[in-house]
Structure 1
Amino acid sequence: MKQGIHPEYHQVVFQDSTTGYKFLSGSTKGSAETITWEDGNEYPLIRVEISSDSHPFYTGRQKFQQADGTVARFNKKYGLDQ
């Protein structure tokens, strides 16, 4: 690999702005805002709008809008279902 072309990789804390959930992970992104983590060290804080704590796919709180197909809904609405 070429030297000096890769960004610096360091530990940061990501915080879900919806739920307040925080997790420590590696990233190349930095931040001027810092937070003291559970281990007593300070890390850059990056706020995210969605994480595994608030995303419906991971939480199981998905809402299924339509269970039947378009044709079945049309037939049901207009009484053509026989």
Structure 2
Amino acid sequence: MKAGIHPEYSQVVFRDTSTGFEFLSGSTKTSNETVEWEDGNTYPLIRVEVSSDSHPFYTGRQKFTQADGRVDRFNKKFGFADKNAKQD
């Protein structure tokens, strides 16, 4: 192997933003945000949207972390009403 062409690996904590699951792994990614790990050391923190804790392929089921989906939040934000919803 050629010397000096490979990136440096370091220990990094990855946090799943949807479930809060954290794991420590080697990575070339860096971050200005840090977190104290279980062993007492401080590591860079990388936030990820999907991990093995929240992905349906690994869990075998869908984990719902928010009550409404993206479409519902969009409709609420911009004032669109659901035409199929029951009227009280």
TM-score, with normalisation over the residues of structure 2?
Answer: 0.69
What corresponds to 1:12 in structure 2? 12
Report the 3-state secondary structure (helix = DSSP H, G, I; strand = E; otherwise coil) of the residue aligned with 1:18: coil
Deviation at 1:29, TM superposition (A): 0.6
For residues 19 and 7 of structure 2, the distance between their equivalents in structure 1, rounded to whole angstroms, comes to 30
For residues 33 and 12 of structure 2, the distance between their equivalents in structure 1, rounded to whole angstroms, comes to 10
Deviation at 1:18, TM superposition (A): 0.2
2:40 equivalent to 1:40: yes
Deviation at 1:28, TM superposition (A): 0.6
Q: Which one-letter code corresponds to 1:48 in the other structure?
A: V
Alignment: residue pair count: 62
Report the 3-state secondary structure (helix = DSSP H, G, I; strand = E; otherwise coil) of the residue aligned with 1:35: strand
| CA displacement, residues 3-22 of structure 1 (integer Å, 9 cap, x when unaligned) | 11111001000000000000
Ranges in structure 1 where 5+ consecutive residues have no aligned partner: 63-82
Deviation at 1:54, TM superposition (A): 0.1
1:1-82 matches, cutoff 5 A: 1-61=1-61
For residues 3 and 30 of structure 2, the distance between their equivalents in structure 1, rounded to whole angstroms, comes to 21
For residues 58 and 6 of structure 2, the distance between their equivalents in structure 1, rounded to whole angstroms, comes to 32
Deviation at 1:36, TM superposition (A): 0.2
Q: Which one-letter code corresponds to 1:13 in the other structure?
A: V
For residues 17 and 6 of structure 2, the distance between their equivalents in structure 1, rounded to whole angstroms, comes to 29
